[in-house]
């Protein structure tokens, strides 16, 4: 079954004690590592980077971010006019963006304080599967 990038919807609950943000549909059983990204004020966009084999999940713990996603068909020379699909994620939603293998991403901070949590199904150095392209490579 082919997988596609999609949002796993979360939610929140607020009462007199405060707020609870959750995602009850997120299955974290495949995750082996996590890291966080906070783009600098001077460089609020990071990308293009992706993986042929690794899956990744993105959410924000603070602020809002936009994740642009491209399906790559040729990893040596990707199509510079490839279709870009965009997803917005923000901390108070509990939403998680799933990006399957075969895609690259560009991460843009919408708010200056945006902190993006990234989860991967491989440990660092477990496989050689990192592809990076110039931020301005794609025409879109």
What digits encode the pLDDT tens for the residues 12-49? 999 999 999 999 999 999 999 999 999 999 999 998 99
Residue 4 has pLDDT above 90, yes or no: yes
Domain ranges for the chain: 6-132
Cβ atoms < 10 Å from Cβ of 48: 24
Residue 140 has pLDDT above 70, yes or no: no
pLDDT score, position 139 = 79
* Nearest CA-CA partner of 37 in 114, 102, 111, 95: 114
Tell me how far apart the alpha carbons of residues 23 and 47 are, in angstroms, rounded to a whole number: 26
Q: Look at the domain 6-132 and name its fold.
A: Jelly Rolls (2.60.120)
Sign of CA dihedral 85, 38, 139, 102: negative
Q: What is the pLDDT of residues 93-133, one digit of tens each?
A: 999 999 999 999 999 999 999 999 999 999 999 999 999 99
pTM of the model: 0.94
């Amino acid at each position: 079954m082919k997988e596609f990038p999609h949002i796993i919807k979360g939610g929140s609950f607020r009462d007199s004690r405060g707020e609870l943000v959750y995602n009850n549909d997120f299955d974290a059983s495949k995750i082996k590592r996590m890291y966080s990204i906070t783009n600098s004020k001077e460089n609020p966009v990071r990308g293009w980077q992706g993986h042929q084999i690794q899956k990744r999940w993105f959410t924000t713990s603070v602020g809002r971010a936009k994740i642009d996603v491209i399906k790559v068909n040729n990893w040596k020379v990707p199509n510079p006019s490839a279709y870009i699909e965009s997803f917005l994620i923000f901390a108070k939603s509990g939403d998680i963006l799933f990006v399957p293998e075969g895609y690259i991403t560009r991460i843009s901070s919408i708010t200056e304080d945006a902190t993006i949590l990234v989860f991967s199904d491989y440990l660092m150095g477990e496989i050689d599967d990192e592809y990076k392209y110039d931020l301005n490579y794609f025409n879109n």
